[in-house]
Every structure is written in C-alpha cells, then in structure tokens.
Structure 1
Amino acid sequence: MSAIIALLVYMAAIIVWNFVLGRNIGEAMLVGLLVVTAFAGADAWTVLTHAFWEATQEQVMFAGLAFVFMSYILGQTPVLDRMIDILNSLLGRVRGGPVYTSTVAAGAFGSVAHVGASVTAAVGSITIPWMKRAQVRPEIAGSVVAGCAGMGVTFPFSSTMFILTGALATTGTLTVDELVIPLAIGGLWCLGVRLLVNAYMVRKYNLRAMDPADRLPFGRSFSRGWTSLTLFIGMVVPVLLTMGWTSARLSDYVGVDTGEALSLIVWIPVLMIAIVGFLGRRHLPRGGRDWFDLLAGAAPRFGVIGVTIVAAFAAANVLGELGLPAQLTTALEAVDAPRPVMALIVGAVVVAIAIPLTASATMAAIGPVAVAALIGVGVEPAVAATAVLIFASTEGASPPSGAPIYVAAGLAQVDPAKMFRPLVTYFCLPILGIGVLIASGVLPV
C-alpha cells in the first residue's frame, strides 16, 4: 500500500505548501514531486531522473507553453478583440453568454477531438478572453474551460473508450457497438449538469449581459473583423487531417496514417500562432531589437506554468513506478458493498487515479477492474462502462495534476491554485455524482 500512501502524502504536501504556507503552485508541485520520490528509497534518484525526462517529452508541455505564447501574441494585436466583438454582437445580450458558449463549444469540439488538453486549448483560446471581457473572474473563466475538458472522454469515439472496450471485448464482457448509445447519453447528462453549473455561476457571480454600449451591431462588427474568424482554421485543419474521411483519403495518398503522425495538441497552437502572426502582422515588431523586447515580455508568463506541468507529469510517472494502479486495483477487488456504495467507491478510486494519470492511462490501469466491480453488484456492462468513463473524465478537473488545468491557467493568466476549489466544487464532484447516479440506475442511459 506504499504507493497509495505516497499519493496521499503527495496531495498533502502540495496543499500545505501552497494553501497553508502561501507559496506558489510551482514550488508546491516541486515539493510534492520530491516528497513522493522519497518513497522510492534507494532508487529515488534513478526514479526521479527517469520520471523528469519522461515528463519533458510530453506533448502537453509544449502545448501549454505554446498557448501561453499565443495568448500573449494575441494581446499585442487586435485579432482576438475583433472576433470577440462579433461574438458579443451575437450573444452579448445573454447573461453569462460567453460561459454557456464555452461549455457547448467544448462539448462539440470534444465529441470530435476527444483530447482534454486539446479541447481546453482550442476552446479556451477564444472563450477565456471573451469571458474576461465580460467581467468573469480569471480563475472562474479558466475553471469553466478546464472543467469541460473531460467531455472528450464522455462522447464516443475517444481513444479512452477504445482502450476500455478493447480490454472488455477480450473477456466477452462488452463490445464497442454496445457502448456507443449509452455513452452518448451519458455524455449528454454530463453536458446538462455543466450547463446547470453555468446557470448557478451566472447567479452566484452576478454575471450580466454585455453593456449595450460595448456591443456593436452585427453588420459593423462582422465587416471590421471577419478576417479574425480565420483563426478557427487553426483548429479545423488539424482535425480534418487527423480524423474522418479526409484523414483516411490523405493517409491512403501519402502512405502514412495521419491520425498517428500528426498531433492535434501540437499543430493547433502552431497553426494558430502562424495565423495570428499573419493577421496581426501590422501590429507586430519589424526589427530584431523590437522582437527581442516582445519575447522578453512574454518570458515571465512561462515560469510557473512550465515548472508546474513538468512537476505534475514527473510525479505521475513516479507514482506509476511505485505501483499505484496495481495497488488501487487490489484494494478495489477486496471491496464488498451495496450497489450505490460500490458505485461511489469505484468512482472515488477512478477519480483518484485520474488525478496523476490521464483518462486513457486510468482506463488501461484499472478500467476493466472498475467495470467488473460494478457488474458484480448488478450493473449492466454498458452502464458500468459508461459510468467508469464518466468517472475518468474528471482528469481535467482534478487538481493538482490535470494537464487541462495548466493550459487553461496559462490562457487565463491566473495562478492555477486559484482554480482548484471551483474545479472541485463545480465540476469534479458533480461529474462524480452523475457517474454514481448512472451506475445506481437513477439516471437512464
């Protein structure tokens, strides 16, 4: 049980360092990493260096920093302001319009892209600045976007779903076809509860419609800023190249599977930075000295975010080396409880594993065991798998290690630690509750 204890101590160290002592989250994550590495004993140095090296190879590391840079460059040009003018002309008269739009957009993009950090980055790059202009607090704007990242898991056909069904199909428990409809309905339940949370936020934080003086007539805003809409090309093109009919045709033509060769989370920020640079070229520096000053101004934004992402992934790697998934699996197999209680226990265990791991890694580590535990108390296989995937979808809303948290924090330019409480309260716990109600038979799928 040493890995389970290590996880608890890791969480405690971060909470004490950040919330009790008041130090920044980057320091807290480094302290947590060192504390959890100590559980490796004599192999601590080897485990730490290997975990750190693996963390620096994560694509999310590049994406997180790339989107921070993109948001900085956007701030130097009028491109995003003009796009937001168009959005405000359409939806600015609705209280909390940017919040609702962000949530629905995350659901739509997540149903196609399925990668939590990609959903956060693509949607948040547009809606976070819009929410901030609508007087939504930065930590709430970031939380709304990161809290919706998991919708990529709760809609078919994510890689996480295939990892789980692949393992279940080998035992004859469940096939992909049997899961599609229940998971789609489960995804809609998750979208619905997020929209209810949005409505609560609008009331609690007294979010108002945009002042009429700040809303341009649609014709005027569109004529001034229609070119800014080409920013969406940076999202659409990578999706078309990696998924669906266009990906299949291109893969046949070039002889390479573009879905495997191209990464959404890498190419979305690259293309968006290029488009911003082209659209805003008249407002960007022209000389070498001016570019140096611009990049120097961006440098401080990378510090805490970069350190935090590396430390989070390194700690996850260390916990994996310590055997956390296997130990939690053993503990889960030993549980004997009524259906609702078992659903809550399974949900809590899956959420706990999804804190340091991604949803896909969580399903690979414990998914089949979690489904079997629910089937053992009378839950139908498709319902059990739907609930377990919903539990795992909290990866983006589970502090302190969810990659979407740090992508959103970079876009919102806010200390990630300020997002932890709203993420847990408004997203992690409600989604856990949805999974429990589905597994208990209260919500039909």
Structure 2
Amino acid sequence: MLAIWALGAYITSIIVWNAVFKRNIGEAMVVGLLVTVAFAGSGFLSVLAHSVAEAMQEQVTYAAIAFVVASHVMGQTPLLMRLIDILNSLLGRVRGGPVYTSILGGGAFASIAHIGAAVTAAVGSITIPWMKRSGVSPAMSATVVAGCAGMGITFPFSGTMFILIGSAGVSQLMDAEDIVIPLLIAGLWCLLYRLVAAFIIVRRHGIQAMDPADLVPARQSISVGWTSLLLLAAIAVPLLLTLGPTGRALNDWTGTDVADAVSLVVWIPVLLVALVAFLGRSALPKRASQWWTLLGDSAPRVGVIGVTIVGAFAASEALASLGLPEQLTAVLSLLDAPLWILAIAVGVLVVAVAIPLTGSATMAAIGPVAVATLVGAGVPAPVAASAVLVFASTEGASPPSAAPIYVASGIAGVDPVRTFKPLIGYFCLPILAIGVFITLGVLPV
C-alpha cells in the first residue's frame, strides 16, 4: 500500500504548506509532488522526470493557462460589465432585482472566467453597492456574492475541471469531452438553487426593488452591450460542431469523428481570446509593446495556475507509477455501504478539504480518489466527476479560509465573520446536498 501512503503524504504536505505555512498553492503543489516522488526511493529522478514530462504534454495544461490569460484580457474591456447591465435592465425593477442580477451575473462571469476571487471582485464591485443602496445589509450583500464564487467550478472548462479529468485515475475512466454536458447541467442545477436561495433571502430580509435612478433602460443596455452576448459563441460553436445532432451529422458527413479534429479544450479558449480581442478592441492596446505589458501583468496568475496544474498532473502520474489505481481499487472493494451513505461521506470529505484549500488544490489532492470511489459504487464516471466538482465548488462559501469571502466583505465594508453563518446555511450545505442528489440520480445530469 505504498501508493496510498504516498497519497496521504501528498495531501498532508499540500495542506500544511498552503494552510499552515501560508504559502501559495503553486509552491504547495511542487512540495506535494516532491514528497510524492520521494516514495519512489532510488527511482526518484526517473519518476520525477517522467511525471513532469507527461504533465507538460497535456492539452489541458495549455487550455487552463489560456483561460487565465483570456479572463485577464477580458477584464480590460467593458464586455462583462455590459452583460451585467443587460441583466440589471431586465431584473432591476423586480423586488430583490440586485440580488438576482448578482447571481446571474456571477453565473455569466463564472462560466467564462472560472476563478472564484475574480468572479467576486468583478461582479461584487458593481452589485454589492447596488444591493446596499436597495436596502440589502452589507453582510448579506457580501454573502450573496461570495456564495456565487464557486460557480466557475461547476461550469465546463475551469482549471479545476482540467486538473480532475487530467489526473491519471480519472483519465482512465473517461475522456475530457464526456464531462462537458453533465457538468453543464450540474452547473445549471447549482445556478437554479442559487436563484431559489435568492428568492428566500429577498422575502426573509424584506428586500425591495432597485432605485430607478440606478437603472439603465433595457433598450439602451441592449443597444450598447448586445455584442457581449456573442462571448457565448466561443462555447456554443465548438459544442455544436462536436456534440448533439449537429455533431452527429458532421460525423456522418465527414466519415470521421469531428471531436478528434475539434478539441473542445483547445478551441474554446482560442475562440474566446479571439472574440474578446475583436469585441473589446477599442479598449485594448494598439501597439505590440502595450500588449506585452498587458500580458505581462497576467504573469503572476499564469505562473501560479501553470505551476499548480503541472504539479497536479505530475503528482497524478507519479502516484499512478506507484500503483495507486490498483491499490485504491483493492481498498475500495472492501467498502460495503449504501450509495447514499457513500455519497454523503465523499461529499463531506471533499467539502472539508476544500475549506483550507482552493477547489483546484482539493481536486488535485483527493478528486481522483473521490471519483474512483463513486465509480466503484456503480455511478457513471461523468456523473461522479460532476458531483465531485459540485462538492468542491463550496470552496468560495466555506468559512473561514475562502478568499472570496474576504474579497466580498472588503467591498461591502463588513466584518467577514458576519457572513460565515449565512454562507454555510444558504450556500455551503445546500450545494453539498445537490452533489449528493446528482450522485444518486435524483437530479439528472
């Protein structure tokens, strides 16, 4: 059971380095990798070299970094703010409209940017002042925005998704494309629940409609910002080409599998960057030197996510070389519990680990084991992976360590401790329940 001990050491080293020593997750993943490879003994250097080489060749490594760059470039344009203006025009006159706008805007941003703290900062900087002006308490304003931070994990093509499906244990169970539709549906279930939670919050706290002075007329917001809706084409076009009726028709017409030629994880970020560069061209640099500076500003985020993903993939390769899949299979075969108990146990474990760690680090640490456990109990791999990602999405709403809590509280000007209880009640525990229901098939994906 050497590989299982290596897994335990890997998880422990990540948690200690990140949560106890307060070092960034990129460093923690490198430490975790070195600790894991140390279990190879005299084969340390060969296992390390092989694992890193394999990780550097993963398509998902490129894709995750590309999405980070795309979200950074997008932040220099008004595209997403115009999208939120459209939502506000449609919902601002509704009682609690700012709350619904915050959740829908968070969902729109998260489906593209996927980074919890970035979702909180971008959406919260606008919707938190709106909510406060409409009579929502500062604590509840921060709670709503932080509670939406994890939605990026529950929509396809997040770095967290790439870390999970790129791991040695999960990649043997399913292809990357297999999770796209199940995870999209899982994300919509989570979004629907958040709208239900918003309805409850609005009624319980007596929240009213927005001040008309803060509203942009729908005709004006759509006229100015309709092009922001085209960002969704970056996701829609590759999906239509490879999946569903159009995908099958193209397969029949060409006599080949179009998905082999049009990789979702490659072409979606390519199209997204191209659309952002075209639609936001008036706000973007005009000279090469200015572009160099702009892209250089994204280097810290690219560096951390790049090191994190390479470290995660390399550690997965190292664990696989130590025999982890076979050893886990042997251990999991000894478990004999009803699926509903197993689903709750896996969910609680993932949520607990996501408290001190980010969703990405959680998936790197225990995601493959969690998926393998559910698959061993008879859950289809894409469903199991979607449920585990839903569990991990509680990272933004899990006190006391989640960064989005402090970002939202800073914008709202409120003591973060005041958000802890409502975050757990309105978001953390219900999202955990959604993951369990997806596992059990109560919520189909």
* TM-score with structure 2 setting the length: 0.66
Shift of 1:101: 2.6
User: Which digits, 9 at most, give the CA deviation of each residue in 1:28-75, with x for residues without a partner?
Assistant: 111111111111222222222222122222233222221222222222
Q: Distance in 2 between matches of 1:134 and 1:300?
A: 27
Q: Is the 8 A contact 1:6 1:36 kept in 2?
A: yes
User: In structure 1, what is the equivalent of residue 259 of structure 2?
Assistant: 259
Shift of 1:198: 6.4
User: Which digits, 9 at most, give the CA deviation of each residue in 1:205-227, with x for residues without a partner?
Assistant: 99997665443111111111222
2:168 pairs with 1:145: no
> AA paired with 2:320?
G
Q: Is the 8 A contact 1:3 1:322 kept in 2?
A: yes
Question: How has the CA–CA distance of structure 1 residues 122 and 36 changed in structure 2, closer, same or farther, with 3 Å as cutoff?
Answer: same
1:373-412 matches, within 5 Å, as 385=379, 389-390=383-384, 393-395=387-389, 397-398=391-392
User: In structure 2, what is the equivalent of residue 355 of structure 1?
Assistant: 363
Q: Secondary structure at the match of 1:134?
A: helix
Q: Distance in 1 between matches of 2:8 and 2:209?
A: 43
User: In structure 1, what is the equivalent of residue 126 of structure 2?
Assistant: 133
Q: Secondary structure at the match of 2:39?
A: helix
User: Which digits, 9 at most, give the CA deviation of each residue in 1:421-441, with x for residues without a partner?
Assistant: 99x968786566556678899
User: In structure 2, what is the equivalent of residue 370 of structure 1?
Assistant: 377
Q: Is the 8 A contact 2:390 2:434 kept in 1?
A: no
Q: Distance in 2 between matches of 1:84 and 1:149?
A: 21
Q: Secondary structure at the match of 1:265?
A: helix
User: In structure 1, what is the equivalent of residue 335 of structure 2?
Assistant: 335
Q: Is the 8 A contact 2:11 2:365 kept in 1?
A: no
User: In structure 2, what is the equivalent of residue 65 of structure 1?
Assistant: 65
Shift of 1:199: 6.8
Question: How has the CA–CA distance of structure 1 residues 146 and 337 changed in structure 2, closer, same or farther, with 3 Å as cutoff?
Answer: closer
Question: How has the CA–CA distance of structure 1 residues 256 and 207 changed in structure 2, closer, same or farther, with 3 Å as cutoff?
Answer: farther
Q: Distance in 2 between matches of 1:243 and 1:284?
A: 33
User: Which digits, 9 at most, give the CA deviation of each residue in 1:69-106, with x for residues without a partner?
Assistant: 22222222233322222122123452432454368779
Shift of 1:313: 1.7
User: In structure 2, what is the equivalent of residue 30 of structure 1?
Assistant: 30
Question: How has the CA–CA distance of structure 1 residues 279 and 333 changed in structure 2, closer, same or farther, with 3 Å as cutoff?
Answer: closer
Q: Is the 8 A contact 2:92 2:210 kept in 1?
A: yes
User: In structure 1, what is the equivalent of residue 319 of structure 2?
Assistant: 319
Structure 1 residue ranges without an equivalent (≥5): 107-118, 152-157, 166-182, 372-384, 402-408, 415-420
Structure 2 residue ranges without an equivalent (≥5): 129-140, 159-164, 175-182, 354-361, 396-402, 409-419
Most deviating of 198-207 and 24-33: 198-207
User: In structure 1, what is the equivalent of residue 74 of structure 2?
Assistant: 74
Q: Distance in 1 between matches of 2:5 and 2:13?
A: 12
Shift of 1:237: 1.1
Aligned sequence identity (%): 44
Question: How has the CA–CA distance of structure 1 residues 429 and 84 changed in structure 2, closer, same or farther, with 3 Å as cutoff?
Answer: closer
Aligned length: 381
Q: CA RMSD in A?
A: 5.1
User: In structure 2, what is the equivalent of residue 233 of structure 1?
Assistant: 233
Most deviating of 12-21 and 136-145: 136-145
Q: Is the 8 A contact 2:107 2:151 kept in 1?
A: no
> AA paired with 2:363?
I
Question: How has the CA–CA distance of structure 1 residues 388 and 334 changed in structure 2, closer, same or farther, with 3 Å as cutoff?
Answer: farther
Q: Is the 8 A contact 1:26 1:305 kept in 2?
A: yes
Q: Secondary structure at the match of 2:335?
A: coil
User: Which digits, 9 at most, give the CA deviation of each residue in 1:260-289, with x for residues without a partner?
Assistant: 221222212211211121122233222333
Q: Is the 8 A contact 2:239 2:264 kept in 1?
A: yes
Q: Distance in 2 between matches of 1:260 and 1:319?
A: 28
User: In structure 2, what is the equivalent of residue 376 of structure 1?
Assistant: none
Question: How has the CA–CA distance of structure 1 residues 22 and 322 changed in structure 2, closer, same or farther, with 3 Å as cutoff?
Answer: same
Q: Is the 8 A contact 2:151 2:187 kept in 1?
A: no
Q: Is the 8 A contact 1:26 1:307 kept in 2?
A: yes
User: Which digits, 9 at most, give the CA deviation of each residue in 1:107-150, with x for residues without a partner?
Assistant: xxxxxxxxxxxx94477799763355323768654323214559
Q: Distance in 1 between matches of 2:42 and 2:155?
A: 41
User: In structure 1, what is the equivalent of residue 104 of structure 2?
Assistant: 101
Q: Is the 8 A contact 1:89 1:218 kept in 2?
A: yes
Q: Distance in 1 between matches of 2:207 and 2:330?
A: 47
2:294 pairs with 1:294: yes
Question: How has the CA–CA distance of structure 1 residues 29 and 105 changed in structure 2, closer, same or farther, with 3 Å as cutoff?
Answer: same
Q: Is the 8 A contact 1:355 1:400 kept in 2?
A: no
Q: Distance in 2 between matches of 1:290 and 1:212?
A: 39
Shift of 1:309: 1.5
Q: Secondary structure at the match of 1:249?
A: helix
Q: Is the 8 A contact 2:54 2:314 kept in 1?
A: yes
Q: Is the 8 A contact 1:88 1:210 kept in 2?
A: no
Q: Is the 8 A contact 1:95 1:207 kept in 2?
A: no
Shift of 1:242: 1.0
1:107-118 matches, within 5 Å, as none
Question: How has the CA–CA distance of structure 1 residues 18 and 369 changed in structure 2, closer, same or farther, with 3 Å as cutoff?
Answer: closer
Question: How has the CA–CA distance of structure 1 residues 122 and 400 changed in structure 2, closer, same or farther, with 3 Å as cutoff?
Answer: closer
Shift of 1:234: 1.6
> AA paired with 2:91?
L
> AA paired with 2:387?
S
* TM-score with structure 1 setting the length: 0.66
